[in-house]
Structure 1
Amino acid sequence: MKKTITFSIGFLLSGIALMAQNPLTPAKGFNVMVKNNLTISSNETDGPMAVGGNLTIKGNYQVNIHSVGTYTGVEGKLIGLYVGGKVDYNAGNTVKVDNSRYVKIGDLSTSTVNNGNQGTETTRIVKKTLVTDINTIRNQNPRIELSTTQPVESVQIQKSEKLDMESIFSQLQDNSTLIANCQSSVDLYDTDKASNANKGKITANEIPSSGRVEVKLTRDKVNFLDLTGEQLNKISTLVFKDNIQPNSTTPFVINITEGTTINWNSIDISGIGDQQGQYILFNFPNTTTLTLKSRNNTIRGTILAPNADFEKTISSNIDGQVVALSYNQSGGENHYQVFSADVSGCQTNNKSLPVELATFKAQATDQQQTKLTWSTAQESNSSYFAIERSQDGKSFETIKTVAAQGKSTATKNYSFLDTNPSFGVNYYRLKQMDTDGTIHNLRMVSIIIDSPENRLHAVYPNPNHGESFAIRVQDADTQVKMISTQGIEISVSTHQIESRTLQVTPSHRLQTGTYLLRIQDHSGVYTKKVMIL
């Protein structure tokens, strides 16, 4: 029944046992780690939360309610809530960040940070408004409310504390893939039939209608159970046979390797407490849509679903970390039982995968086309690469194939120019085909392409690193001013590099964040945003 998983592999595979380390290490001790967008309606998270995209507030919520977490900012303060994008203040009252934890936000264009009249009250972050009365501003709902006074200027994410979500999730996806390649190593038993050690032994295809199953772990080794999504949902209660329970040297990994869309009926893992959650891992390497809506049982274990949009509506809790592409939580709690065991992944068919992908990047050109570049550190039996494009990150179409080097131990560089991207967000996925016909999904990137009406005064590259960038203009004497989200003007110099292109160079290296460009020419005044990484 074992299905070989061959997702993104970004490092060399050698030997049968790989990655003898904690596979959740890239999550940096966050209770919740989300690559794209996070929506919170209720209830709370014991530890810190990190989201690479936007945070949408739809209800009351508490963050970092226990004194846990490890990731610090430039001030040396522990971060309770990290938002790589912006905050959408949709509904609800208060998101409380407890235990004197700091908040970091990448895009403050929708937010105002307020420390009261004297600048010494506990920090509140609210929706940007034209209101000037400080007390009115502070009492807006919904809002983010800290239990400490954080300097206003420190809320903006700085370059040195920025989380590289592309790299983090590339590692998490690789780890998920390697773990999923490991074969089942535990025995299952039907407790209704088991009157002796072997009589009730069953396969994963023989889960009884009662849904009650015993699993026998082997002490002092990693124990794997391989299930399909359908088999997972047939188990309502799981008991550990002979009272051999998961611990740091006897972790239990449940690989759900089949099922891209799973409506998960939560399992009652009986006979253990919350603390055992740190030694149990539910691994969903192929799942792209995961919902937790049925059976109100506590999930004891970490959920590793780095390619999935995850929605949780049941009111019970998760005793473990949550790793997902996106996360929508409208019920229950996330407990800080971070995964605390080493798990060695397994390679495919005892041989290395054919490509070690080093980079895959997308960049908008001045013509608002997409330039894709990627490089490999080594190749073996590689036939070609396929580039797929999507507007929603879910439904992809192949737009180009590029011949691979085939066999190489040196760095090889590839590129492709997409001359017809869609306006708005474009997602690109890179696949690789072996000479034997095996297909490997490698990595996905996204980029924003301006529509024709926005191409005048297009900024490129955007995002950039704040050293210099270009603007397409219609007048050679166009005037440009750069302003921070706090209203501070940044000194810049400009010079014409082409007939309709100005190069803009700030007087000093800029901090990470979003800035406004005020562009004035004969036809009027325009405003553009530029993101500094």
Structure 2
Amino acid sequence: MHHTPKPARRAGRLAILGAASAAAVALAVAGTTPFAQAATVTFNPLDPALGFNSFVEDETVLASTEAEGPIATGGNLLIEGSYNVMIHTGTGAFTAPGDAQPSALVVGGRVVYTVDPATSVVQVLNSGYVKVGDLTGTDVLNTDQNNASVNTELVAAGSGYNSTPRIQLTVQQPIDSVGPSSPIDFDAAFGELRANADTLVECQANVTMRDGSGNAVAKGAVTQGQNIHVTLEAGVTNVLDVTGEDLNNMGDIVFDGPLPSADTPLLINVDTSGTGGELDWVVAPQSPVSIDQAPYMLWNFGTSTTRLRIAGGDTVEGSILAPNADYSDVSPTNVEGQIVAKNASLGEIGENGGEIHHAPFAAELTCETDVQPTDGPSTPGGGTTAPGDTTAPGTTGPGGGSLATTGDSLRPLIIAAGALVAVGAAVLVATGLRRKGARG
């Protein structure tokens, strides 16, 4: 009778025990130990801005010149010059419950009539409605001094019809529909917008800046006047990381290959930490991008940028997400997209601001982010969430949109499966050794 040699038998047992131990450890780790994971998020980060050309949390100053679409501000509105709102038809995406027309100008606080030249008139065009949360200091009129029926105006209390400063409509809006109430929860919207901005900052960059000779240029290494070339990958979300200094040093941003589109959107994450969270932006041309591509470009300044000033240069193609920033435009430089900011000054007295062209962000961004280890409370789906994070795997993502995740709920099963495969392999090895011994 032949017996399996002791070394082979011992090796088989050790292989089985080792694989079993690995399986047990893997299952324990999968079930109890937090670790960094990659998560894929897919959402439109500007959904909470409701399609407004300018969407501001607190105060907005209107001095010059115009917005093709509607404007919303959660705080006070200061009239300091001539400004036209919703100059294009079909741009109002939000209609308050019970209203017959879209909201062209939403003010969560009061209207402040601070300047009194004859030109201080805010014209709300294309039959858009005005909504005001606090009518203190405002008279809403739809009859003139002769008691004739006229289009609605908002004027300083006691000033009379056609006085300046004023907000004038091109429709007779029912007085009681003007206010005092705001149809938008700005606190909730900006909670989502800040979460979205923070999520986007974590998206992994996959676009490389290159000089005219094709050499890679690292983030923070753009030199004064240098033309930067980028090549997008079709069919995916493209992510470019730059600093504020990079933006101001660029001569041109040249797109080689595919241009931004609905299935090839471009996210530019701008890091302003090198300038203390502040940036006076002289905008480089983005060639050959135009308003046709603007709905698929997003400049994300995150939540660490506290002041953003458009100081000159070329048109900004794409939307600006700067939810913690005091935003101002004191040059003729236009923005083709949406502006999201904490406060906004659209022009200043004696300084013309640029126009805001209606090109609302219209893409869903999909990118990988790093999910940090967490010991947060359990969720109904069986996962955990970090303190302050209400998103669980398989539920909704930042901004209330859908959030797709990979490598979360399947990871424990994958680890366990791998360990079990190792057990099976070890069993086969041990069996083979026994048979060999029996034959020998």
Q: CA RMSD in A?
A: 2.4
Distance 1:335 1:205 in 2: 30
The one-letter code matched in structure 2 to 1:248 is A
1:26 aligns with 2:44: no
> What does the per-residue CA deviation read over 1:396-433, in whole Å, with 9 as the maximum and x for residues that have no partner?
xxxxxxxxxxxxx9xxxxxxxxxxxxxxxxxxxxxxxx
1:313-392 mapped onto 2 (5 Å cutoff):
313-330=330-347, 331-344=353-366, 346-348=368-370, 350-351=371-372
1:176 aligns with 2:193: no
Q: Which residue of 1 aligns with 2:310?
A: 292
With structure 2 as the length reference, what TM-score do the two structures score?
0.72
> What does the per-residue CA deviation read over 1:438-483, in whole Å, with 9 as the maximum and x for residues that have no partner?
xxxxxxxxxxxxxxxxxxxxxxxxxxxxxxxxxxxxxxxxxxxxxx
Structure 1's consecutive aligned runs of 4 or more residues displaced over 4 angstroms after TM superposition are 352-356, 377-380
Q: Which residue of 2 aligns with 1:165?
A: 186
Unmatched 5+ stretches in structure 1: 1-13, 132-136, 359-376, 386-408, 410-533
SS of residue paired to 2:63:
strand
Q: 1:66–1:240: structure 2 CA closer, same or farther, 3 Å change rule? A: same
Distance 1:256 1:19 in 2: 19
Distance 1:126 1:354 in 2: 55
SS of residue paired to 1:138:
coil
Q: Which is bigger in relative contact order (C-alpha 8 A, separation at least 6)?
A: 2
Q: Which residue of 1 aligns with 2:215?
A: 200
Distance 1:109 1:261 in 2: 34
Distance 1:145 1:254 in 2: 38
Distance 1:227 1:355 in 2: 33
Question: What is the Cα deviation at residue 21 of structure 1?
Answer: 1.7
With structure 1 as the length reference, what TM-score do the two structures score?
0.60
Q: Which residue of 2 aligns with 1:393?
A: none
| Candidates 125, 140, 149, aligned match of 2:154 | 125
Question: What is the Cα deviation at residue 355 of structure 1?
Answer: 5.8
Q: Percent identity?
A: 33
Q: 1:304–1:175: structure 2 CA closer, same or farther, 3 Å change rule? A: same
> What does the per-residue CA deviation read over 1:298-319, in whole Å, with 9 as the maximum and x for residues that have no partner?
0001000011111111112100
Q: 1:304–1:352: structure 2 CA closer, same or farther, 3 Å change rule? A: farther
Question: What is the Cα deviation at residue 18 of structure 1?
Answer: 4.3
> What does the per-residue CA deviation read over 1:476-527, in whole Å, with 9 as the maximum and x for residues that have no partner?
xxxxxxxxxxxxxxxxxxxxxxxxxxxxxxxxxxxxxxxxxxxxxxxxxxxx
The one-letter code matched in structure 2 to 1:84 is G
Distance 2:360 2:74 in 1: 20
Unmatched 5+ stretches in structure 2: 1-35, 348-352, 393-440
Question: What is the Cα deviation at residue 40 of structure 1?
Answer: 1.1
1:41-120 mapped onto 2 (5 Å cutoff):
41-67=63-89, 68-76=91-99, 77-91=101-115, 92-117=119-144, 118=147, 120=149
Question: What is the Cα deviation at residue 379 of structure 1?
Answer: 6.0
1:432-511 mapped onto 2 (5 Å cutoff):
none
Q: 1:18–1:325: structure 2 CA closer, same or farther, 3 Å change rule? A: farther
Distance 2:284 2:48 in 1: 27
Distance 1:211 1:80 in 2: 41
1:149 aligns with 2:172: yes
SS of residue paired to 1:121:
strand
Distance 2:219 2:165 in 1: 47
The one-letter code matched in structure 2 to 1:223 is N
Q: Which has the higher strand share?
A: 1
Q: Which residue of 2 aligns with 1:39?
A: 61
Question: What is the Cα deviation at residue 320 of structure 1?
Answer: 0.4
Distance 2:61 2:321 in 1: 18
CA contact (8 A) 2:236 2:263 kept: yes
Question: What is the Cα deviation at residue 345 of structure 1?
Answer: 5.1
| Candidates 304, 311, 326, aligned match of 2:321 | 304
Distance 1:151 1:25 in 2: 29
Q: 1:281–1:82: structure 2 CA closer, same or farther, 3 Å change rule? A: same
Distance 1:122 1:190 in 2: 56
Distance 2:373 2:338 in 1: 30
Q: 1:234–1:162: structure 2 CA closer, same or farther, 3 Å change rule? A: same
| Candidates 200, 223, 232, aligned match of 2:238 | 223
Q: Which residue of 1 aligns with 2:294?
A: 277
Q: Which has the larger radius of gyration?
A: 2
Q: 1:172–1:116: structure 2 CA closer, same or farther, 3 Å change rule? A: same
CA contact (8 A) 1:83 1:105 kept: yes
SS of residue paired to 1:332:
coil
Question: What is the Cα deviation at residue 74 of structure 1?
Answer: 2.5
SS of residue paired to 2:293:
helix
Distance 1:188 1:150 in 2: 51
Q: Which residue of 2 aligns with 1:8?
A: none
SS of residue paired to 1:230:
helix
